[in-house]
A and B are shown apart, each in its own frame.
Chain A
């Protein structure tokens, strides 16, 4: 059994209104040095596979098929 931590984020080039709103609030709180705030999704999942490589391949396929939309989002994952 392998455990995956998956991160799905909007592409850099795409406006993230939720991130912008949170960043504006940080500015308002006085954190003038805080910038580039982006809000994404964090997904955890367990997968059954014979090897780490096979598990990673499966997670990658799942990300492409369902968890991330390749029109607008990027994904990455850690697996162990």
Chain B
């Protein structure tokens, strides 16, 4: 598959994502946020929004990136049912762009948290998790100050009813509702997660538990 990796001003995880995607046997190219053509993503099979601090995360994390010129093309890719993956700041951008429900509050501790975290695979029957076992615990690093997922009770009930809660924290690090670490949209083609699977693709660096996510997308 050919992936587009979208880069916003302040994105910082694109090289790790490129490495992870290629390691999983895919091709990938960087696409700049200012691409205004709605067909800018037409030649790609899947799209990734990497982590970082787009536009300095001023105002709210991801709020300005969600208004970027590339966003109409991202909506078009979604309408075509292409897999779209948002990691950390990418997840925040997807909520701000209205492609995933909910939003993000500061971590309950008010601290930036950067550490390996145990994540439970709540739904292994998705485009993004089919290489994992249902209920499997994997270890992925988190690195965020605003990872405290928030949605109203109606939205949370819908997420649960539709099995859209894909990853949960074994020990909630940030105050996220329902221990949410990652969710999909209702159609299942968009995944947002706060942990960084691209930073866990080699045993040399402590864990290769993240590789399964990139291999699942096919």
Contacts and interface: CB of A to CB of B under 8 A. Distances in A.
A17 B95 contact: no
A71 B63 CA distance: 13
Nearest to B150: A72
A21 B111 CA distance: 12
Contacts of A14: 105, 150
A15 B108 CA distance: 9
Given A17-B109, A71-B150, 20 more contacts: A10-B105, A15-B105, A15-B108, A15-B175, A17-B106, A17-B108, A17-B110, A18-B106, A18-B110, A65-B67, A66-B59, A66-B63, A66-B64, A66-B67, A67-B59, A69-B103, A71-B95, A71-B101, A72-B103, A72-B150
B102 interface: yes
Contact of A21 (B60, B103, B110, B151): B110
Interface residues of A, number: 12
Contacts of B106: 17-18
Interface of B is mostly: loop
Interface of B: 59-60, 63-64, 67, 95-96, 101-103, 105-110, 150-152, 175
Nearest to A21: B110
Interface of A: 10, 14-15, 17-18, 21, 65-67, 69, 71-72
27 contacts: A14-B105, A14-B150, A15-B105, A15-B108, A15-B175, A17-B106, A17-B107, A17-B108, A17-B175, A18-B106, A18-B110, A21-B110, A66-B59, A66-B63, A66-B64, A69-B63, A69-B103, A71-B95, A71-B101, A71-B102, A71-B103, A71-B150, A71-B151, A71-B152, A72-B103, A72-B105, A72-B150
